[in-house]
Amino acid sequence: MDSIYWVISRHCNQRCPHCYNDSAPGAPGLVPEQASRCIANLPDADDVAVDRIIISGGEVLAWPDLLFHALAGLYDRYRDRTKLMVQTNGDLLDAVVLDRLLAHHVCRIDVSSMDRYHPRTTLDRREHLTRLLESRGMVEAGSIARTAGREIEAGRRLTYAFWGATEDLWIGALWPRGRARRLGLTKARPEDDFCARWSGAKHFLDYRGEGCEVNVQLADVYPCCPMTCRPIGDLLTEPLIAMLDRCAEHPVYRALNEGRPEKMGEYLGISESEGIRRTRELGNQCLWCDEFFTRHAAGLLHQSGVTARGDVDLAPLR
């Protein structure tokens, strides 16, 4: 498994207009005991190697007790077999916090707020943060999507990166989710094949091969970062590998695993060309995916428990 992207909390010190998962001050997060239960349901390292776990939010540094509890639990579970990475907006990163992150075996820090949606005060910290990160021997890498493969070659060097939702990146059009969708900021079109791109569902089932990443929002597991309208399972109650094996038995998830959501209805007699037509009419792949699940396969959706997605969940169809 290449990567587990884990949003441990949607609490954030900011409320950016483009935020795909509705992070904001006071938004829900796991409590430490729940984080421990999730970690216990991650893959057994003797069976499935996990290259990296990226902890994100919300703003993870706004809830340090939870973050450091999760990092300690992950290191306890995986030791040096899995790289631990943190994604932050950088606002609360200072020398004390950085040293604590490094002491908790974090090997990469992504400051993912360098775009026009974040406030000037955040962007203005870049130079200061660069000096701080480099003072601890960290070296610059590219965005996680561009360097994911090469990280492996880079071995155990401590790295950092600054990036954001800019036009040149795979997220430039913004996923049609959360505030990005409600505020009309997403420019996602039918030709934006999010499903087959980095962070999409392609290869999410291939945990023994290459290109497998899953997205965990609190304890809800999704095949992709844009998020299907409901999760595929609850990490509080089911091991991740069992969840993926369960999905692999169903043609809907096998189509998503190919990065071809237009094919997801074939087993019901909804042809790929019909999926392509609805994708064009609705505007992009992810809205077709929402329509398919809600209209044709609601029984496949997992009713999440204590970590329900709130207003992100089953966004009304337009």
With CB under 6 A as the contact rule, the residue among 9, 82, 89, 257 that binds ligand SF4 is 89
Kindly tell me which of 74 and 188 has the beta carbon lying closer to ligand SF4. 188
Per-residue binding string, ligand SF4, 186-205, x by CB under 6 A, is --------xx----xx----
Residues of 82-93 as b/e, b for ≥16 C-beta within 10 angstroms? bbbbbbbbbbeb
By CB under 6 A, is residue 224 in contact with ligand SF4? yes
Please report, as residue ranges, which positions from 93 to 132 form the binding site for ligand SF4 (by CB under 6 A). Answer: 113
Closest CA to 193 of 92, 309, 279: 279
Kindly tell me which of 36 and 272 has the beta carbon lying closer to ligand SF4. 272
Reduced DSSP (H G I as helix, E B as strand, rest coil) percent helix, strand, coil of the chain, to 5: 40, 15, 50
Please report, as residue ranges, which positions from 252 to 271 form the binding site for ligand SF4 (by CB under 6 A). Answer: 256, 261
Closest contact distance (angstroms) between CB of 132 and ligand SF4 is 19
Strand order in the sheet with 106-111: 139-140, 159-162, 106-111, 83-88, 52-56, 3-7, 213-217, 220-222, 233-234
User: For residue 119, what are the CA distances in angstroms to 6, 173, 252?
Assistant: 25, 19, 40
Separation of alpha carbons 169 and 167, rounded Å: 6
By CB under 6 A, is residue 19 in contact with ligand SF4? yes
By CB under 6 A, is residue 70 in contact with ligand SF4? no
By CB under 6 A, is residue 228 in contact with ligand SF4? yes
Please give the residue ranges that form the binding site for ligand SF4 (CB under 6 A): 12, 14-16, 19, 23, 57-59, 89, 113, 194-195, 200-201, 223-224, 226-228, 256, 261, 285-286, 289
